[in-house]
Structure 1
Amino acid sequence: MDNLTFRYSVLLVEGLQVTPQSNKLTFIFLLIAYVFVMVSNIGILIQISAEKSLHQPMHILYCHLPVSDIMGSTVVIPRLLKDLLTDPSERYITYVECVFQAFFAHLYGTTAHTILMIMAFDRYVAICNPLRYPTIMSNKMIVKLSAGAWVAAVVPVSVLIGLSVRLSQCRSVIQNHFCDNPSLFKLSCESTMINNIYGLTFTVVLLTSSLGWVLLTYLKIVMVCIKSKNKATNSKAIKTCSTHLTVYLILIIFGFVPIFLHRFSDYAESRKFGSVMFYAIPPGLNPIIYGLQAKEIRQRMLKLCRKKVYSN
């Protein structure tokens, strides 16, 4: 392989800088986390699709979250597992693979926000307009919300990655543990001002709209609960909203950790592990939180467990 081919077609991934002693522990932890993410999220999807009583707008909209979680974990963790078993000098990845990994890694982070936004809208309608809920949350509306959540993520992420792909390359090392947008445009010696401006604008708009929408919907829900004198209705509203809010807070916390650590160069490795957790912890906790809080899913799980015990 000549230098020119290597320079433009194959890249070297820096990877996680772990000691030989902690290498096996890191591998085992990530493997267990990935297996759990896949089993739990696929299990939730199968339950919702198989059980007709779960074919409700709230559960249907939630189905997009496991799909996003599976996508995010799959695009990052298996590659990290492979790199942990590979010598640091041989952690190669093709440029095309790197672009795809960066695209889907950012798509996961974006869809996680847009999906939770449409779920917040569903909770708002259910609590603030219960009599009109069946009319508003029709099959047509569910399709529109679902398509909107993905389109609102795919389009800006495509532009984000496209701006980096347009740049010429002068480097061949990914100074990160996996490919993301900054890793891509840092391969170039050209001016990346446009990339930085768009990336910052994209992040601010996403977080502002996400936080703003969730706060607005929950503020209105709280106002309705305060005015209502029905304790049973308020209790149900608090229970369903607490699930969504918990999932959202977990996403925000684990998303902000690597962003915050970016400000401190001395914590580069901590930032790497923090970003790995973003693709492992929320996807693993989401099905647990949602499965335990959703009465219908919890009853379905208990019913399956009883059948298995009786059959044995």
Structure 2
Amino acid sequence: MLILEGFSILPELRVPVFILSLVVYSVILAGNLTLLFAIVFHRQLHTPMYTLLSNMIICDLIGSTALMPRLMYGVMTEVKQISIYACVIQAFCIHSYGSATQLILTVMAIDRYFAICNPLRYHAIMTTKTTVKLCLLAWGVAFVLLFILFFLTLRLPRCRSLIVHVYCFNGSLYLLSCVDTTVNNMYGLFVTYFLSTVSFSAIAFTYTKILITCLFKTENNSKSKAIHTCSTHLSVYFLFEITALFSIIALRFPNVSPNAIKAMGTLMVVLPPVANPIIYGLNTKEIRNIFTKCIKNRIFNR
């Protein structure tokens, strides 16, 4: 058995923290599942952009569900023990959330590039078959990279049992070993660098091209629609990258308090799944229209 330290919470604050965690998790589930059901059950949303969005929603649900129930259980029961199998599953799910999200966001940028820079050929290029292949490729690349990552970690003998964090992740697992972990560290850095570089390079290239295209568009309506769609995607991308960056930086500074490090790590998994349905719900006209129509039908059909 391993010991998952979790947050240091005063006894009188346990119930408020549990209630806050429950509310946050409920918001995540309600927002993401509502958006996912809207995409699945409304044919007008069966387009490449919304197919990719549904994959991102699945990423958010995987990450938040891997973290929140265990976090709430630990807060209320003060049970810190966790089996190695449960720890590995949690770590794999949280890493899958981060890796797949970056790759899905990359594919979404490519989709926006073809939609705005090559609109006449967009439907010929981004067919349903192509979209599904790109989604499978994103999940497949993430799975292969993480399979190797955790294979390298699980081969190490363990001589420690304390994980000084709120949840399990690859770094916390290989630090339980007393042997040389240089290979694990180098491969982990490679995975982080590869995913970040691919994501940033693709988004920087596509949005530079999109910006240039928008500057030369004569139709104000088309220009504003393109900018509005891209700003939504970029907001989601920067929210994910900024929370991840703060989490990584916090781990590198020994003077940062353990609770602050844990809070940053938790924020990286919780904040994007909370904010993404709000960002897409408010900024996407098709989704707003569907929700408005549903609300009107509910009110006038009573």
Q: What TM-score do you get using the length of structure 2 for normalisation?
A: 0.97
Maintained 8 Å contact 1:247/1:286: yes
Task: Note the residue ranges of structure 1 that are not aligned, 5 or more in a row.
Answer: 1-9
Instruction: State the shift of 1:20 in Å.
Output: 2.6
Mapped pair 1:309 → 2:296: no
Query: Please, what is the CA RMSD of the aligned residues?
Result: 1.1
Q: Distance in 2 between matches of 1:210 and 1:108?
A: 15
Q: Secondary structure at the match of 2:99?
A: helix
Q: Distance in 2 between matches of 1:35 and 1:304?
A: 21
Superposed CA deviations along residues 18-53 of structure 1, whole A, max 9, x for unmatched, are 223433332222111111111111111111111111
Q: How does 1:156-195 map to 2 (within 5 A)?
A: 156-195=145-184
The separation in 2 between residues aligned to 1:263 and 1:220, in whole angstroms, is: 35
User: Do the aligned residues in 2 keep the contact of 1:77 with 1:279 (CA within 8 Å)?
Assistant: no
Counterpart residue number, 1:233: 222
Matches within 5 A, 1:21-40: 21-40=12-31
- Match 2:94 to one of 81, 84, 105: 105
Q: Which residue of the other structure, out of 261, 273, 284, is the alignment partner of 1:283? A: 273
Q: What secondary structure is seen at the aligned counterpart in 1 of 2:255?
A: helix
Partner letter of residue 249 of structure 1?
F
Could you tell me whether the CA contact under 8 Å between 1:102 and 1:161 is conserved in 2? no
**Corresponding residue of 2:115:** 126
Q: CA deviation at 1:255?
A: 0.8
> 2: distance between equivalents of 1:149 and 1:103?
16
Match of 1:300 in 2: 290
3-state SS of paired residue (1:241): helix
Q: Which moved more, 1:31-40 or 1:172-181?
A: 172-181
Q: Which residue of 2 aligns with 1:266?
A: 255
**Structure 1 residue 221 and structure 2 residue 210: aligned?**
yes
d(CA) in 2 for partners of 1:33, 1:215: 32
Deviations along 1:162-204, whole A, 9 cap, x unmatched? 1110101111222221111011111111110101111111111
Unaligned stretches of 5+ residues in structure 2: none
Q: Match of 1:5? A: none
Give how far 1:114 is off.
0.5
Q: Distance in 2 between matches of 1:23 and 1:282?
A: 24
| Number of residue pairs aligned between Structure 1 and Structure 2 | 301
SS at match of 1:82: helix
**Does residue 1:93 correspond to 2:82, yes or no?**
yes
Contact 1:15 1:178 in 2 (8 A): yes
Q: Partners of 2:114 and 2:12 in 1: how far apart?
A: 53
Amino acid at match of 2:35: I
Task: Report the identity percentage.
Answer: 40
Q: List aligned pairs for 1:6-45, cutoff 5 A.
A: 10-45=1-36
d(CA) in 2 for partners of 1:224, 1:273: 41
Q: Which AA in structure 2 matches 1:199?
A: G
Q: SS of 1:12's equivalent?
A: strand
Shift in Å, 1:108? 0.4
Match of 2:128 among 124, 139, 150: 139
How many Å apart are 1:266 and its aligned residue? 2.7
Q: Alpha-carbon deviation of 1:208?
A: 1.4
From 22, 34, 43, give the equivalent of 1:52: 43
Deviations, residues 86-130 of structure 1 (Å, cap 9, x unaligned): 22xx31111111111111111101111011111101100000000
Which residue of 2 is the match for residue 152 of structure 1? 141
SS at 1:63's partner residue? helix
